[in-house]
Amino acid sequence: MALTRRHGISTNSYKRFLIDSGAVYINYATSGTANCMGATDGGNTFTIDTEYKDMTADGARGSVVGSRRITNVTVTLVANMKEIDNTKVIGYGLTGSDTTDSGDYYTTTRSLEISTGDHLTDIALVGEVSGSEATPAVFICKNPISTGGFEISMTDKEESVIPITFTGHFAVAAMDTEPWEIRWPDFS
């Protein structure tokens, strides 16, 4: 008797893989002309972390359809920046900072205030889909600021990578709309 193999591979499978590390862009969704943050190393990640609450009631012996609600959403994009540009990497990595040009150096300092103007409109991780070189997959974090601290490590015979964690924020005018968007190519 012949063995019947089971798998999910179709003739289109290899045209729908998200490949390589992608690139990180500032204001990709809103500007029409994206501003690439620069070279990265070690990949980049986009995460939507959702917390749920099951509303309980006497008589229910477990989860009930319609009883679950979303109580918290945290959207993050981690960019592992290898190319260090003062305004894009250091400036955006230190939310609320100011940079001045003295001629020899760019000097970055910060006060203890974060204003609404410190939020970017969006930051996006843009990646290639194997069957759609012309139309990328886009993972957008809206109203982000850097929330993960700032660290530079320098190691002999290696290049530094600065990980920057951007966290999306709800807009006051749209409190029921989560601060993220995913654009996937239409293969039809």
Per-residue pLDDT tens digits of the chain, which is 188 residues long:
678 889 999 988 888 898 899 999 999 988 766 789 999 999 999 999 999 999 999 999 999 999 999 999 999 999 999 999 877 789 889 999 988 888 888 899 998 989 999 999 999 999 999 987 788 999 999 999 999 889 999 999 999 999 999 999 999 999 999 999 999 988 77
Question: What's the angle, vertex CA 30, arms to CA 25 and CA 32, rounded to 5?
Answer: 75
Which of 80, 78, 82, 169 lies closest to 122 in space, CA to CA? 169
Residues across the chain? 188
- End-to-end CA separation in angstroms for the chain: 39
Which of 46, 95, 107 lies closest to 74 in space, CA to CA? 46
Residue pair 131/187 in contact by the 8 Å Cβ criterion: yes
Question: What's the angle, vertex CA 80, arms to CA 78 and CA 84, rounded to 5?
Answer: 125
